[in-house]
């Protein structure tokens, strides 16, 4: 990702973003509310365009790649994921609606549910009756069924209690090893994130102020990041 | 029973203004405050329909199919323009989409009627062809405009769902599938209800007109049945054709939802 900038309606939302993320990393992006974290992930998933600069995935500019394939490979889990008015199972296999060849067998489904710690008996339930945290895990499972090689997570632990949040991050981390998935996560829970992340960056007011090893999450060099951490505590 | 139909004279029409006067009186009395609009409406309907009468007489006298087709094209153009004005959110190219979808709808529905149902001589017998074309165009565009406005509402309401589907690799068409289906269903329900309720309370307009004009009710009923089936097909056809084009307007070439088009400041 080089020199990417984006503005919407005359308002600069992201400016001069330079990031390099390598396969297999667990990259954590931290920053205050409204700093552009969600917007950044949406760019990576191809849900929005940027004005200048370019984003490369596997050495190829995402502007020239097959956008649907890109979205499958660089899967995204939203901050407030949309849950469809159907059963949990139908939510998981939603892809069937446009991909007639898509098929998941029961065992794969159970395995995915286990990964995200959702009990199997939920499958037949109306997905809208799930709790906020369960919905988030359902969305994660749904994206995972696409077998992405990059996973964009927008505050995946926001609605979860610390134990479950830990558990999910642990699962995600295992996935990273087992399936060689690269993780790009946006999080407010810096201490929790620093247990699993391998690299981190601060995004403040639409700019990356700092990139480096996870130690910067608790010990940033730049003043802006320090200020943000102080406010968080 | 040898009662022939009554020819209403212009004097009779003027006398019917008594009804409008009564309406105006009530409106004034209760200070509902629509006097001006009602007056304009009264005058406009009078002028428009009178002109229409002369236009129809003129065209009916021309007695060549080419003129009838021209008249239908003019009707499609005017109706499409009107439909364009009734959109909640401007859609680029909507006028042309309407012209296109209406031309096909009229061709199929009117074609079926003229070819297989009404055995008219000549086939373009204007007394049947033009009013039926008018009904197809009017009802079709009415329905498809409702659908489009509903579709825009669905998009605004479901933008998170649509984003989620896109993010999972769905095509724009798949991502708006529910929105399109909901919108078309909503627009077809009045038509279907019409089929259910027709004849129970109120006699439909075409039938009423024919009966007043002295046609045997049994024949008027047959016309009415055909027309109701025609409306249903017209609405479905027009909606499907229009929605198949409209949704594309709300996506970029990169398959991104153009939210700015239906965000609140635009509605
Ligand atoms: N479509 C849009 N139109 C106008 N402004 C927008 C739009 N999308 C985002 N913004 C603005 O961009 C900024 C960044 O938004 P973004 O959602 O990326 O923040 P965030 O870092 O994810 O915040 P949070 O932690 O609260 O989720 C915000 O100020 C927001 O108001
Ligand atoms: Mg956000």
Model confidence over A178-202: pLDDT tens digits?
Answer: 888 999 999 888 888 888 999 999 8
Residues of chain B with pLDDT under 50: 1
Determine the pLDDT at residue B3. 56
Determine the pLDDT at residue B264. 67
Residue linked to tokens 């608790």 = A218
Determine the pLDDT at residue B182. 95
- Given a contact cutoff of 8 angstroms between Cβ atoms, the answer to whether A184 and A203 are in contact is no
Is some CB atom of chain B closer than 8 A to the CB atom of A71? yes
What total of structural domains would you count in chain A? 1
Pairs from B18-26 (Cβ < 8 Å, separation ≥ 24) = none
A153 domain residue, yes or no: yes
- Given a contact cutoff of 8 angstroms between Cβ atoms, the answer to whether A131 and A63 are in contact is no
A202 domain residue, yes or no: yes
How far is CA A138 from its chain centroid?
14
Pairs from A97-104 (Cβ < 8 Å, separation ≥ 24) = A97/B170, A97/B174, A97/B177, A98/B169, A98/B170, A98/B171, A98/B173, A98/B174, A99/B169, A104/A145
Q: Is the pLDDT of residue A108 over 60?
A: yes
Give the closest-approach CA distance of A213 to chain B in angstroms.
29
The average pLDDT across A142-169 equals 89
Determine the pLDDT at residue A9. 47
Distance CA A193, CA A199 (A): 10
Domain of A179, in residue numbers = 2-80+148-232
A47 domain residue, yes or no: yes
A118 domain residue, yes or no: no
Q: Which residue has the higher pLDDT, A106 or A142?
A: A142
CATH of the domain at A45: 3.40.50.300
Nearest alpha-carbon partner for A44 in A17, A71, A22, A84: A71
A36 lines ligand 1 (CB under 6 A): yes
Q: Is the pLDDT of residue A1 over 60?
A: no
Q: Which of A38, A39, A67 to mutate to test the interface with B (most CBs of B within 10 A)?
A: A67
Please, which pLDDT band fits residue A11 given cuts at 50, 70 and 90?
A: low
At B215, list the tokens.
């046609």
Which residues of chain B make contact with A48, given a CB cutoff of 8 A? 256
Its pTM stands at 0.87
Sequence-distant (≥ 6) Cβ neighbours of residue A97 within 8 angstroms = B170, B174, B177
A136 domain residue, yes or no: no
Distance CA A141, CA A111 (A): 10
Please, which pLDDT band fits residue A3 given cuts at 50, 70 and 90?
A: very low
Determine the pLDDT at residue A6. 53
Q: Are strands A199-204 and A182-186 parallel, antiparallel or unpaired?
A: unpaired
Determine the pLDDT at residue A2. 47
């Amino acid at each position: 990702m080089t020199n990417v900038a984006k503005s919407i309606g005359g308002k600069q939302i992201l400016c001069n973003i330079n990031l390099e993320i390598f396969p297999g990393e667990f990259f954590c992006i931290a920053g205050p509310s409204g700093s552009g974290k969600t917007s950044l992930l949406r760019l990576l998933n191809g849900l929005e365009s940027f004005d200048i600069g370019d984003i490369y995935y596997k050495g190829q500019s995402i502007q020239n790649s097959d956008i649907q394939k890109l979205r499958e490979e660089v899967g995204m889990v939203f901050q407030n994921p949309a849950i469809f008015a159907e059963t949990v199972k139908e939510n998981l296999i939603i892809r069937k609606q446009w991909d007639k060849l898509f098929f998941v067998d029961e065992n794969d489904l159970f395995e995915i549910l286990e990964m995200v710690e959702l009990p199997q008996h939920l499958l037949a339930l109306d997905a809208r009756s799930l709790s906020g945290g369960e919905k988030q895990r359902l969305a994660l499972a749904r994206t995972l069924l696409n077998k992405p090689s990059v996973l964009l997570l927008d505050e995946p632990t926001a609605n979860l209690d610390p134990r479950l949040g830990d558990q999910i991050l642990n699962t995600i981390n295992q996935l990273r090893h087992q399936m060689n998935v690269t993780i790009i996560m946006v999080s407010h829970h810096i201490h929790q994130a620093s247990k699993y992340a391998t690299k981190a960056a601060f995004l403040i007011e639409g700019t990356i102020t700092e990139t480096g090893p996870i130690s910067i999450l608790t010990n940033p060099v730049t003043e802006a990041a320090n200020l943000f951490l102080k406010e968080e505590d | 029973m040898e009662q022939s139909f009554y020819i209403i004279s212009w004097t009779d029409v003027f006398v019917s203004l008594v009804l409008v006067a009564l309406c105006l009186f009530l409106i004034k009395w209760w200070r509902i405050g629509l006097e001006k609009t009602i007056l304009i409406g009264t005058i406009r309907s009078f002028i428009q329909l009178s002109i229409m009468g002369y236009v129809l007489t003129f065209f009916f006298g021309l007695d060549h199919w080419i003129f009838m087709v021209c008249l239908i094209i003019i009707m499609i153009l005017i109706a499409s323009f009107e439909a364009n004005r009734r959109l909640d959110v401007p859609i680029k190219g909507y006028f042309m989409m309407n012209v296109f979808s209406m031309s096909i709808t009229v061709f199929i529905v009117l074609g079926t009627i003229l070819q297989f149902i009404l055995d008219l001589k000549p086939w373009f017998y204007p007394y049947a062809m033009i009013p039926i074309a008018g009904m197809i165009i009017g009802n079709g565009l009415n329905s498809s405009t409702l659908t489009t406005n509903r579709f825009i509402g669905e998009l605004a309401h479901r933008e998170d769902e649509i984003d989620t589907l896109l993010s999972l690799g769905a095509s724009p068409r798949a991502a708006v599938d529910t929105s399109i289906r909901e919108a078309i269903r909503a627009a077809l329900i009045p038509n279907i209800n019409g089929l259910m309720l027709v004849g129970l309370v109120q006699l439909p307009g075409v039938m009423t007109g024919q009966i007043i004009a002295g046609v045997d009710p049994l024949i008027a009923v047959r016309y009415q049945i055909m027309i109701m089936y025609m409306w249903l097909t017209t609405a479905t056809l027009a909606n499907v054709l229009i929605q198949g084009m409209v949704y594309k307007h709300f996506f970029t070439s990169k398959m991104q939802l153009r939210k700015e088009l239906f965000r609140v400041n635009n509605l």
